[in-house]
C-alpha cells in the first residue's frame, strides 16, 4: 500500500510486544499482533 501511494525505500523495524501485560494482550496474541516502525520516502 505504501508503494501504491508513491513511496519508495520502505523499511520495517523489528516487532515490538506492544500489548504484552495489557488487558488487550489475549486478543493481540490470538492474531499475533505486534507493533512495528515503518520508514518510507517520497521520491524527489
Partner 1 sequence: MVKVVVSGTRPQIVYGESKLDGGRIMNNDLLVDPEVLREQVREKYRDVALEPNGTHHFHTGRPLATRLGYDQVVVDALPDRAVESFAGVGNPFSLRNLVPSEKVVDIGSGAGFDSFIAADQVTATGRVVGIDMTPEMLAKSRETAQILGLAYVEFLEGLAEAIPVADDWADAVISNGVINLCADKQAVFTEIHRVLKPGGTLQFADIANGRPVPLEAMRDVDLWTG
Is residue 36 within 8 Å of 13, Cβ to Cβ?
yes
Count interface residues toward partner 1 (CB under 8 A).
35
Q: Report the site for partner 1 in 25-44 (rule: CB under 8 A).
A: 27, 30-44
Is residue 33 within 8 Å of 15, Cβ to Cβ?
no
| Per-residue contact string for residues 2-21; x = within reach of partner 1 by CB under 8 A | x-xxxx---xxx-xxxxxxx
Query: 3-class DSSP state for residue 28?
Result: helix
- Which residues are at the interface with partner 1 (CB under 8 A)? 1-2, 4-7, 11-13, 15-24, 27, 30-44
Amino acid at each position: 500500500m505504501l508503494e501504491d501511494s508513491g513511496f519508495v525505500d520502505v523499511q520495517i523495524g523489528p516487532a515490538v510486544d506492544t500489548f504484552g501485560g495489557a488487558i488487550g494482550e489475549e486478543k493481540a496474541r490470538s492474531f499475533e499482533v505486534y507493533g512495528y516502525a515503518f520508514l518510507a520516502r517520497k521520491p524527489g
